[in-house]
Each structure stands twice: as C-alpha cells, then as structure tokens.
Amino acid sequence: MTQQTSDQDSADSGPATPPRKGNSRYQQEHDGAPLRRLDPATIVDATPRYEPIRASGNISPYVVNGKEYVLLDNYRSYKERGIASWYGTKFDGHATSNGETYSLYDMSAAHRTLPIPVYVKVTNLRNGRTAVVRVNDRGPFHSERIMDLSYAAAVKLGFSDQGTAPVEIEIIDTDNTAVVSAAETARYYLQVGAFKQLASATELQRSLSAGLGYPVLIASSNNKRGNDLHRVRVGPFIDYSSAQAAKKALKQRWSGEPHLVVEANDS
C-alpha cells in the first residue's frame, strides 16, 4: 500500500516499491475512521490457518524512502514490543502489498519485515486487550512504530480513538510442518534460470550442484508457443525459512538473483 500521510497518529504503511508522487492513487487527502462505528464485542479475530508464503509481497530486500528493509527468515518465534498505529478510510478498497484488497473492517495488519501472509497475536499493553490479525501489507514507515493495524483491529484493541498504542506482537506459528498434512504443505524452490536449450540448463545445474549442498534440478515444460523451456531450480524446501537460508548459501556461489517459486495444491 502506498505510503500515506495523515493529520492524526494513524497508520503510515507503504509498499515494497517507492510511493507514487503526490499519493495520486488515493481519493482522500487524510485518513480517518468510517461513519459506521464498530462494537468491539462483535469483532471476530482472524482465524489462523496454514498459507504458503508466495513471492507476491515478499520482495527482499526492498527500499522505501531511501531505506532498505530485509524480510525476516526465522520468524516463527518472533515477538516484539513497540507502538502500533492504524489505517482506515483513505486506504479502504486499495491493493495491499500482496495484491489483496484492503478492508478497514477486516482483521489485518501491515509490517515492515515479516513475510506475507502470517498471523500475529497483538496485545494492547495499556488495557490487556488482544486481537489476532493477518499480515498482508507493508508498513509502517515511521521508525517509532512497529505495526499498522486495520481500523477493526484498533477498535477491538481499544485504541481507535487515540490513533496509537503500546503493543506486544507475537507470531502464531501456522507453518509448523509437524501439524500440517503433506497434502497441504507447499514446496518452495529458488529458480535460477530458464533456457530454451537443455544443454544450457544442464551446464548451470552441474555448476551449481558442485559443493552447494542443496538439490539442483531441471523442470522442463512447454510454453504457450509449444516450445520447450528448461527451468533450473534449487530445492525443494519444506518452508519459506529453509528457502531463504538456501538463498544465502546460493548467493555465495552465484552472482544472480534467484526467483522464489511456490508450488501448492491451491495453485
């Protein structure tokens, strides 16, 4: 979501690419709460479930306002305390960083370095209220804030009228392969090249296989024009964290930039 400016202490989220000049994608100049007020007692938490972490919304590193951000590889035990803010009507109906549509009534959130999507338990340290949200956006890009929450989440946590609140955020591990069936588990690959000639793909495969310590395979298929295409991939890996660890090892031996490929049963 493009970086926002506001006359209140509400959210300031942004995308993995520099914001457009003048925030031209938004109809409203300032953010705010909707006319329809919510009863916090009726707001239902997001339901944690296993979801593959795909390439969309997970560019790493990325740069906003001249600062580089690197996504967390080992995020399952992530816990942090800091200031949370919220974003509302200005961003309602616009695309989040992974291409979904933001709704201020959903239990969602933006974070700078957690992979998308993940589920997070948020506790308001002022009043002890808790909420479970799904991270599907990037931000906030105020250095003193650690998370932007949807308006609904801010209402449930009891700080929608204040704009910000001290919180603790803690990952809910839905990616634990011990509790996810084999049918649900995604397969992660690092794609390093795609060639028309099998010989070229085989040459790269042999070069990378020597001493890398990870499987390197060739996935061959026909493209839309009926031509053969041979993709060189490192993997498979059982989860996003394993793929990112392999990416670090790969970049010590290879100067290119691998592309994350996720194969799941819902794709």
Phi, psi of 180, deg, nearest 5:
-105, 130
How many whole angstroms separate alpha carbon 69 and alpha carbon 54? Answer: 18
Q: Comparing C-alpha atoms, which of 158, 232, 166, 165 is closest to residue 198?
A: 232
Query: Which domains occur in the chain, in start order?
Result: 21-172 (2.40.40.10), 187-263 (3.30.70.1070)
Return mean pLDDT, the chain: 84
Phi, psi of 150, deg, nearest 5:
-65, 160
pLDDT in tens, 193-249: 999 999 999 999 999 988 788 999 999 987 677 678 999 999 999 888 899 889 988
pLDDT value for 185: 76
Q: Comparing C-alpha atoms, which of 129, 118, 194, 173 is closest to residue 155?
A: 129
Q: What mean pLDDT is predicted for residues 48-72?
A: 91
pLDDT in tens, 2-42: 333 232 333 343 333 333 334 445 565 666 667 788 899 99
Is pLDDT of 173 > 50?
yes
pTM for this structure?
0.75
150 pairs with which residues across the strands? 87
Sign of CA dihedral 23, 29, 31, 36: negative
